Each structure stands twice: as structure tokens, then as C-alpha cells.
């Protein structure tokens, strides 16, 4: 089925957004965020369009739009470690947007942003002591800073980032434990519900068998009752008939 005009426009705008995301942008750049918002509106309209594509294609578009949206949100974070952590949770698209792409553009952007945030973290780790040294040198004049002091400052920065990473790891571990606990609780509830349902089905089958047996017994009893009643009435009718005949024969003789 040929692509609709709405889908073609979405693909063009998505390709443009991917190209802009791969480029180095100014902090005041606002067009990409507006374009991603327009992509979300177009994607919602495409989902209810009369000639919408297959569900797999729509899911691929959704992944790419969500990736671009998440990338913009990660760029607004304050520290490079938070940006790197947010970048790890992003899922790029799996299929190229255009036929000219050999590798999905969102995957390339994901790798570029990861390398950039890693470089920024390395710069924070190694560049902060150097800036402190320059400030101390400018204040104190030409007096050199001892290697011991610079090493202590470097250790302080490394310790600070290590504490931050440990805190993030503890939070992720807590979330994982909470998720595991909720999953086990849900499995326990589902297991109990399945057991209750199985017991109810078993009881229903037993009641159905009992009802069927009792119905057959009642039918047999009804048939037996009807047969005995029929024979009794036949006997009574015969007895009345014979009695009438005898009565008719006897009455003239009495006269």
C-alpha cells in the first residue's frame, strides 16, 4: 500500500530532526524541540488515519519520536553524569528512516551523545582540579602549587563523583528490588487466583455431573410413577365396567 501524504511528511520531518540531532547545536537552539512536538502531533494523526501503515511501522515511528524527545530532556539535565545515565535508558530506532541510510540515524545519534557525555564526565573529573589550580595561581601570584595539593584536590573530585555514582547505583538497586518485590507479589496473587479459578471450575464440573445424575433419576422415577398410575386407572375402569354389566343383569331379575 502506498504511503499517504501525512506519512511522507512525517518521514521527511523525522529525517530532518535526526539530522539536526546529529549536528552540534547551540544551547539556545529551539527549532528541534518544536519539530519534535510537531512529530508527536503528526504521529497521533497518523494512528487514526484512514490509510495508516502497519502497526510495526507505527511502532518504529513511535520509538524514534520517543528517542528524540528523551534526548532533548536529557540535554536539559544539569550534570554530565545525569545526562549519561538518562542516555542509557534511551532506545533508538531499529530501521533506517530513509533508503539512503545504512544504519538508523537515531542509533548514530545515540552513540554520539553517549560519547559526548562520557567526554564531558572525563573533562569534569580532570578539568576541575586544573581550573582550581588556575584560580589559586591567579590569586596567589606566581607561587606554584605543590603536587601533593593538586593530587589531594584530584582525589577529592574523584571521590565526589564516585559517591554520586554509588548513590545512583543504590537508587537503581532499590528500584530493582522494589520491582522484584512487586513482581513476586503479583505472581503470588495471580497464582492464588488461578488456584481459586481451578477449584471453582472443578466444583462446577462436579455439580454438573451430580445435576445430570439426579435429572436422570428423576426422569426414571417419573416414568415409573406414570406407568403405575396408568395401570391402576385401567384396573379401576375395568372393575367399573364389569360392575355395571353385572348390575344391569341383576336388576331385571329383581323386578
Q: What are the residue ranges of helices labelled H in the chain?
A: 5-22, 31-47, 55-75, 80-88, 105-140, 147-254
Q: Residue 76: which of 62, 65, 86, 90 has the closest Cα?
A: 86
The pLDDT assigned to 127 comes to 56
- Give whole-number Cα distances, 188 to 46, 183, 185, 193, 225, in Å: 40, 9, 5, 9, 55
pTM of the model: 0.45
Grid coordinates representing 246?
353385572
pLDDT value at residue 149: 64
Say how far apart CA 167 and CA 161 lie, in whole Å: 10
Instruction: List pLDDT tens digits, range 13-56.
Output: 888 888 888 877 777 778 888 888 888 888 888 888 887 888 88
| Rounded Cα distance, 94 and 107, in Å | 8
Q: How far apart are the first and last CA of the chain?
A: 112
Boundaries of every domain in the chain: 1-76
Amino acid at each position: 500500500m502506498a504511503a499517504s501524504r501525512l506519512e511522507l511528511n512525517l518521514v521527511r520531518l523525522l529525517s530532518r530532526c535526526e539530522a539536526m540531532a546529529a549536528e552540534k547545536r547551540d544551547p539556545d537552539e529551539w527549532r528541534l524541540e518544536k519539530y519534535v512536538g510537531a512529530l508527536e502531533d503528526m504521529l497521533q494523526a497518523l494512528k487514526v488515519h484512514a490509510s495508516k501503515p502497519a502497526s510495526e511501522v507505527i511502532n518504529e515511528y513511535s520509538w524514534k519520536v520517543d528517542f528524540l524527545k528523551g534526548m532533548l530532556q536529557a540535554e536539559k539535565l544539569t550534570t554530565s553524569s545525569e545526562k549519561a545515565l538518562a542516555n542509557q535508558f534511551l532506545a533508538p530506532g531499529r530501521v533506517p528512516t530513509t533508503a539512503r541510510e545504512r544504519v538508523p540515524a537515531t542509533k548514530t545519534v545515540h552513540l554520539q551523545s553517549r560519547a559526548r557525555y562520557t567526554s564531558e564526565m572525563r573533562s569534569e573529573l580532570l578539568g576541575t582540579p586544573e581550573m582550581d589550580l588556575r584560580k589559586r595561581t591567579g590569586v596567589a601570584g606566581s607561587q606554584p602549587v605543590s603536587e601533593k595539593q593538586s593530587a589531594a584536590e584530584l582525589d577529592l573530585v574523584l571521590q565526589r563523583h564516585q559517591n554520586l555514582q554509588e548513590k545512583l547505583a543504590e537508587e537503581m538497586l532499590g528500584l530493582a528490588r522494589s520491582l522484584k518485590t512487586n513482581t513476586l507479589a503479583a505472581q503470588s496473587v495471580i497464582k492464588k487466583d488461578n488456584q481459586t479459578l481451578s477449584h471453582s471450575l472443578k466444583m462446577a464440573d462436579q455439580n454438573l455431573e451430580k445435576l445430570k445424575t439426579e435429572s436422570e433419576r428423576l426422569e426414571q422415577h417419573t416414568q415409573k410413577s406414570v406407568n403405575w398410575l396408568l395401570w391402576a386407572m385401567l384396573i379401576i375402569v375395568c372393575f367399573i365396567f364389569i360392575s355395571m354389566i353385572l348390575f344391569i343383569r341383576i336388576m331385571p331379575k329383581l323386578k
